[in-house]
Structure 1
Amino acid sequence: MKTTLFSTVLVVSTGVLLTTISCHNATVTPPPSTASELRVSAPFADQTTQFAFDVSKQVITAEGQAKNVFISPLSLHIALGMVLNGANGQTAQEIQKTLKLDAQTLTEANQTYQNLLENLPGVDPEVTLALANSVWYRNTFPVETSFQDLLKQLFKAEVSAQDFNDPATLSKINSWASQKTNGKIPKVLDQIQPDNVMFLMNALYFKGDWKTQFKPEQTIDAPFKLASGSTTTVRMMRLNTTLKHASRPTYTAFELPYGTDKYAMTVLLPAQTTTADALINTLNSSEWTQLQQAMTSSTLDIGLPKFTLNYDINLNKALSALGMPTAFTDAADFTKINKQGGLTLSFVKQNTFVAVDEKGTEAAAVTTGGISLTSAPLPLLCDRPFIFVIHEKTSGMILFIGKIADPTKTSNS
């Protein structure tokens, strides 16, 4: 029986810029955008979008209607991309298929990961996006040099051999997560088990101001109807401005851009006759593409609750259901990490943080014909559970997907 375990930890943070830009900053010339250097094929973007919605459906269904959810499909995809490079045989095939990468070679996928890591952070100089990878392994455990070199070169990973019996190692790993998420996720591991030999980690940090900010003096107390039918009071931000929006058969969507409009949060508000949980189950890469095409710009009066959420989840069950069960069993083949074998993926967990207010969003983590609204629409108030997606528009990458069931709840514990 295999007792040697390695794990994948994702730390993701999305947050709000609470300070205003001082006047002298206006004279500083921002660095040029790297958007023109992004090389993400349409199939890769489409497949990773499908993966994003597939994972979100699994998580939201498992959590139930009353729970808030916030995950980073991009962080998960990159971390599992590192795991994939250590896998062989059926284990590798299942991971590659789950990631929707079975239509391309591993080399092609690795080149895209490398390009994303190098160029996605610089797409919008007015938005902070940081991506980082690290690998921590027990210093008595031999790791194939080829695996280490690949992760260093293509995934820009920091690879470090550590004494896992030394309590200071746990602090080092948690400190790395905290540092890479601007302190938003201070701890990702509680302990290191005797049979743990490796941790692969991805951190993603996002911080952006709204292109058009909400005015704090217009934020009011407002009712929010929970899935249970009861009502809570939230701080509802209001904005009346020109926005992209679309009406679909079961939901209405509007887009709130950040910075120079490369990044955006798209909010999907289900119709009164349906629910946020039912809505997420209708979303896929095709519907997402159709939604983008259906978007039109006009003046819109919207209401969006302020919210902050610390979230964590073990993704073993979701990933097994999506098609990669072998990785979590004794039948796993990770002989590209250690040619002797005997390794199994013990857990994949994600810790996330998101805060949304009048100025913007801060987030971190360690998916058929539009009907236009009339020219004088009623206010579009997110006064019931809704879905939101934070995405980058040049590459089509979905960074985060969330469901807000109760804006007053700040954690899922």
Structure 2
Amino acid sequence: MKTIFLLLSLIAGVLTDNPYPHTSNHPNKYNCDNYQYEPNQRDAQMPIHVLVNSNSDFAFKFFRKVFYSGSQQGGPGKNNIVLSPIIISSAFAMLALGAKDNTLDQILKGLDFRPSKIQERMIHEGFHELMNMLNNGEAGYQMEMGKCLFVQNQLHPEQQFLNGLKNMYGGDIYFENFKNAAETEQHINSYIERKTHGKISKLVNGIDPITEILLISYIYMKAKWKKPFNPKFTKEHNFYVNPYVVVKVPMMFQMGMFEIGRDDERFCSILKIPYEGHTAAYFILPDKGQLERVASSLSCGVLQTWKSMLSKSSVNVYIPKCLVSGEMKLKDIMYSMGVTDVFTDKADLSGITGQPQHRLSEAIHKAVIMIDERGTEASAATSMDLVPMSIPTIMRYNRPFILIIQEQKTQSILFMANILNPTEK
């Protein structure tokens, strides 16, 4: 049987910025004093799908920005893209707990929330409910999402922020001496290594001693295919990275009944492979030379269109067995999405420290996705479909493709990847 391992972490550092004090007399009209999650008192007009819809819009917008940013640096095909949009959005939402005024508005709008339509409190309650639902493990499926705050031991964060971090996001809090960089790095890295079950062992490498606060958001997912691949059919095949680069990859094979679709308008084919539980992977295979066109068209509406096109058919599936990772700095991307003040002297994060003289220095996102045949380490079961007597469709992922992993009950997009070269770690 097999599985996919998916994990990632996001780290954000808040630095002292004393030369640029900033004050404001404008109160936060969506003040969330002493956050406590009370589902019976939750506004009936804030169902979880409102949060999920905004998260999905953000996911596709962010992915397109990252893809376009890559194309500006030499064109698509240069690097793999691996990310978890839900972790990025929840990390910045957590940061919003301590933001005020224009800084707060920019964060919420950058995450595709509209402060005039959704109260901030409801956003945090929505994330609380969503995280509880996703962390509720089922047979064959394991997911862990969490947050952590590392604070300079001489700093005293606002109690309101600490309450929100703990009650809304289940966050852990540790006090550190950032001037002792080596010891702090070791603590942070061992924490993340433990939370991601050893899949991310070195999140930080070189902490600036003037750092005062680190916000960390992570996710770990392990899920079995409903129809596992048989390892004995995995053979070495060519993968065509681009017209000039061909690499050898172990290619998994399975034949059976799968949901597939064809989008002639966007020049791509779609394959859905479900996991046990309520999660599914959508493998999008652009026609040759059409990767940029497909990636730039991604949206909630397009994904919905693809779902409506899917129908069960006899398919021979070839997918590379691989482990791919991605690391990106989010500052420039979020800046392009309107989240600017938080990275400058204009930032008002006084809800965290009680003082406005702090800004976000950088946000770093790391993700790892592992695709292979088995479900658990010791499992070697196989499955077989009865298929109609017809010529099967061949879905051969031997060139760059896009992967979207979605939790089906909430429709939350957990991971997105543009796999350009499966051999790149």
- TM norm structure 2: 0.81
Task: Tell me the equivalent position of 1:140.
Answer: 154
Provide the secondary structure at the position in 1 that maps to 2:131: helix
The count of residues paired between Structure 1 and Structure 2 equals 363
Q: Secondary structure at the match of 1:293?
A: helix
1:45 alignment counterpart: 52
Q: Alpha-carbon deviation of 1:290?
A: 1.9
From 371, 382, 407, the counterpart of 1:392: 407
SS for the counterpart of 1:153 is helix
Contact 2:271 2:283 in 1 (8 A): yes
**2:162 is aligned with 1:155:** no
Match of 2:418 among 388, 397, 403: 403
Task: Say whether residues 1:258 and 2:275 are aligned partners.
Answer: yes
For 1:280 and 1:216, locate their aligned partners in 2 and report how far apart those are by CA, in whole Å.
31
What is the correspondence of 1:76-225 to structure 2 with a 5 Å cutoff?
76-102=88-114, 103-122=117-136, 124-166=138-180, 167-225=182-240
Please list the CA deviations of residues 96-137 of structure 1 after superposition, one character each: whole Å capped at 9, or x if unmatched: 011111141111111111112222122533201011111011
Give the whole-Å Cα distance in 2 for the aligned partners of 1:193 and 1:142: 20
State the secondary structure of the residue aligned to 2:302: helix
Is the 1:47–1:285 Cα contact (8 Å) retained in structure 2?
Answer: no
Query: Which letter does structure 2 place at the counterpart of 1:92?
Result: L
Task: Please list every run of 5 or more consecutive structure 2 residues that lacks an aligned counterpart in the other structure.
Answer: 1-13, 18-45, 71-75, 378-388
| DSSP-derived class of the 2:92 partner | helix
The code of the aligned residue for 1:70 comes to: V
Q: 1:199 to 1:179 in 2, by over 3 A?
A: same
Contact 1:223 1:232 in 2 (8 A): yes
Amino acid at match of 2:273: L
Q: Which residue of 2 aligns with 1:305?
A: 320
Instruction: State how far apart, in whole Å, the 2-side matches of 1:296 and 1:202 are.
Output: 37
Structure 2: distance between partners of 1:213 and 1:351: 27
1:4 counterpart (16, 26, 41): 16
Which residue identity does 1:383 align to in structure 2?
Answer: N
CA contact (8 A) 2:147 2:218 kept: yes
Match of 1:267 in 2: 283
Q: Is the 8 A contact 1:252 1:268 kept in 2?
A: yes
Give the root-mean-square deviation of aligned CA atoms.
2.0
Quote the residue 1:246 is aligned against. Answer: 261
Mapped contact 2:15–2:212 kept (Cα < 8 A): no
TM-score by length of 1: 0.84
Cα offset for 1:238? Answer: 1.0
CA contact (8 A) 2:257 2:314 kept: yes
Give the CA deviation at 1:176: 0.9
Q: Residue 333 of structure 2: which of 312, 318, 325 is its match?
A: 318
SS in 1 for 2:162: helix
**Is the 1:209–1:359 contact (alpha carbons within 8 Å) kept by the matching residues of 2?**
yes
Counterpart CA distance in 2 for 1:66 and 1:407 is: 12
- For 2:39, the equivalent position in structure 1 comes to none
Structure 1 residue 42, shift from structure 2 partner: 2.8
Letter in 2 for 1:79: A
Distance in 2 (CA, whole Å) between partners of 1:333 and 1:220 is: 55
Q: Is the 8 A contact 2:15 2:361 kept in 1?
A: no
Residues of 1 paired with 2:375 and 2:258: CA distance?
16
Q: 1:308-346 CA deviation, whole Å, 9 max, x = no partner?
A: 123211111111111101111111111111222101111
The DSSP-based 3-state class of the residue aligned with 1:91 is helix
Aligned-partner SS, 2:393: coil
Partner of 1:242, secondary structure, is strand
Q: Which runs of 4+ in 1 moved over 6 A?
A: none
